[in-house]
Amino acid sequence: MASNTKKESTPAAGPSQISSGDGLNEDTVGQVRELTDVEKARMQDGAAHFNRLGWKRLTVVLIVEAIALGSLGMPQAFATLGMVAGTILCVGLGLLAIYSSYVVGQVKLKYPHVEHYADAGKLIMGRFGYELIGAMFVLQLTFLLGSHTLTGSIAFIQLSNSGICSIIFGVVSAIILLLLAIPPSFTEVAILGYIDFASIIIAIGVTIIATGIQRTDIGMASDWSAWPAKDAGFVEAFIAVTNIVFAYSFAICQFSFMDEMHTPKDFVKSIWVLGIIEIIIYTLTGALIYAFVGQGVKSPALLSAGTLISKIAFGVALPVIFISGSINGTVVARYIHGRIYRDSVTRFINTPKGWVSWILLITLITVTAWVIAEAIPFFSDLLAISSSLFVSGFTFYFPAMMWFMLIRQGSPFSRENLVWTALNLLCFVVGLVVLVGGTYSSIMDIMHHYEAHDVRGAFSCSSAE
């Protein structure tokens, strides 16, 4: 396996002193030597500040990034796919995502200068890969940030039960996301992560208990089925599959998070803990709420718990909406900021210029995300398309390519590599299937919404779904 000695011997871990997307060259070395003593001290302090993440806090940060209200969309996926297929996919895709995340971690150990996913893209596809994956990285995380502004708006509408325009709630959501994204270190995010995790667990628990009590009061079994819904076509079924796939998309930010670890080799503990927690939460949430509610289950499932309980659940879920959303803004800002100021002390965000540039960048990203989410009538489907195009790669086929091109030792058909070759081929194929099937299904869903005239207007006061 790859060695981590380089990372542990480098005092300036995350953001590394090696520039984002480039190796350490003579020009960089020359520029560092010309720094003043004060700037050198600032760089050392900054490197130390961004090198405090242990495996437990990495697990919490990954949970913040990975587990959000999307988990409450699992029951509807189960309703489409059936209990058997839903359970198999939740467990199987979860295990596959843990393995692909392991490959990502191995790449980070072998190439410690990799700070973000775009840097890994350069290793496998040169400058083109760096720019392509960098663009995918920025677009996907910005879209996710926009999605959380809309989700926050929906939550406030549910809680207030007023006629206030949803755009106002969207602005409030964007401001909250902006404020939470200001701390640049993921160590600070980990502190909020405990609140985030408690929030989603309580929201799910309230929903499961409420739907179970309602079913008991009704006094008859729901119409859940072990098999796929009879009226589910390819598009509906594949959208349900992609919802499960996207729930395991934690590898997209893993390079960024690992760049702050003081002991990078401990990442294996984090991904196993996260993966098992995700598999348990997604499978139990999907199976239990679907069993209690039946085919009429809504997404997010807490809307199926009744008016009062839905309000309570949305209120409890507010922290996870905003904390999980804000980390997307922090990650994409760290990538852009590190790229702009890669050879400057400014990148460590511990000088007046560093803080001013950081806050302005976070503000620009958040406003852009809000405008995109509000301005595009079919934003939810656009997010599904971007996820199909991008997450399929970040989670499955890019890690498979990394194993073949960066990690593998010897022939892929040698006896010691046969199992790993098969596993990585499976990851690659799953990624391509999601890429093609998910994109096609999302486009068809957009067409269906337009034909049904249920596409919201740009900057509409009605809540987006």
Quick one: pLDDT at residue 28? 42
Distance between CA atoms of residues 320 and 57, nearest Å: 17
Phi first, then psi: give them for residue 261, nearest 5 degrees. Answer: -75, 140
Q: DSSP secondary-structure letter at 304?
A: G
Grade residue 394 by pLDDT with cuts at 50, 70 and 90: very high
pLDDT tens, 289-347?
A: 999 999 999 888 888 888 888 899 889 999 999 999 999 999 999 999 999 998 888 88
Residue 17 has pLDDT above 90, yes or no: no
Burial of 398 (0-12, 13-18, 19+ CB in 10 A): buried
Name the average pLDDT for the chain.
87
HEC profile of 380-428 = HHHHHHHHHHHHHHHHHHHHHHHHHHHHCCCCCCCHHHHHHHHHHHHHH
Residue 27 has pLDDT above 80, yes or no: no
The pair of three-digit structure tokens given for residue 45, joined into one six-digit string = 């302090």
Q: How confident is the model at residue 16 (pLDDT cuts 50, 70, 90)?
A: very low
Percent of the chain with pLDDT over 90: 63
* Threshold 0.75, pTM exceeds: yes
Band (12; pLDDT cuts 50, 70, 90): very low
Amino acid identity of residue 367, one-letter, is V
pLDDT digits 0-9 by tens, 430-446: 999 999 999 999 899 88
What is the predicted pLDDT for the residue at 34?
63
CA nearest neighbour of 325 among 108, 141, 459, 87: 141
More confident residue, 144 or 304: 144
Q: How many CA atoms lie within 13 A of 379 on its CB side?
A: 29
- Give the HSE-up count for residue 362: Cα atoms under 13 Å, Cβ half-sphere: 26
For 388, how many CA atoms within 13 A lie in the half-sphere containing its CB?
22
Does residue 383 have a pLDDT over 50? yes
Model confidence at 23, pLDDT cuts 50, 70, 90, reads: very low
pLDDT value at 399 more than 80: yes
pLDDT at residue 410 tops 80: yes
Measured CA distances, 237 to 138, 227, 287, 444 (Å): 29, 12, 17, 13
Quick one: pLDDT at residue 4? 44
* Separation of alpha carbons 48 and 286, rounded Å: 42
Q: Which long-range contacts (CB under 8 A, 24 or more apart) does 341-345 make?
A: 342/19, 342/20, 342/21, 342/22, 343/19, 343/28, 343/31, 343/32, 345/35, 345/39, 345/42, 345/43, 345/46
| Residue range 60-115, pLDDT digits in tens | 999 998 888 778 889 999 999 999 999 999 999 999 999 999 999 999 999 999 99
Burial class (CB in 10 A: 0-12, 13-18, 19+), 107: buried
Q: Which residues pair with 261 in a beta bridge?
A: 53
